[in-house]
Amino acid sequence: MENHNPPSCECTIIHEDAIKRVRAAMPSNESFYGLANLYKMFADNTRIKILWALSREEMCVCDLAALLGMTKSAISHQLKLLRLSNLVKNDKLGKNVYYSLADDHVRDVFEKGFEHIGHT
């Protein structure tokens, strides 16, 4: 009855104080959305392999396709997403397009991930 947030929960609120504290410190919806989107880029087998490879060497689309045993098209589609997320940049050189990591921050995110994997 007194639900102001439409698709709300169907229960009597138990720890209102805790909820208030958390809500007060909560980042904006946009922050979460952006963060989730960042992680989405790491959340696919192909993309994570591409990112890892590029963290090692600058590579062109064909190189990545050969490395991962996939078509240029599939790789190109994923590279586009990575580009739109500002995780990789490209450098046109003749017929080839060389891709590399946009910045070293990407490498950091990786390391944290691999650490966690190692721990479990």
- Residue 73 to residue 56: CA distance in whole angstroms: 22
Rule CB under 8 A: say whether 94 interacts with its own copies. Answer: no
Residue 5 site contact among its own copies, DNA, none (CB < 5 to 8 Å, cut-off depends on kind):
its own copies
Query: Pairing mode, if any, of strands 88-93 and 59-60?
Result: unpaired
**Per-residue x/- marks for DNA, 17-46, CB under 7 A?**
-----------------------x--xxxx
Nearest approach, Cβ of residue 96 and its own copies (Å): 7
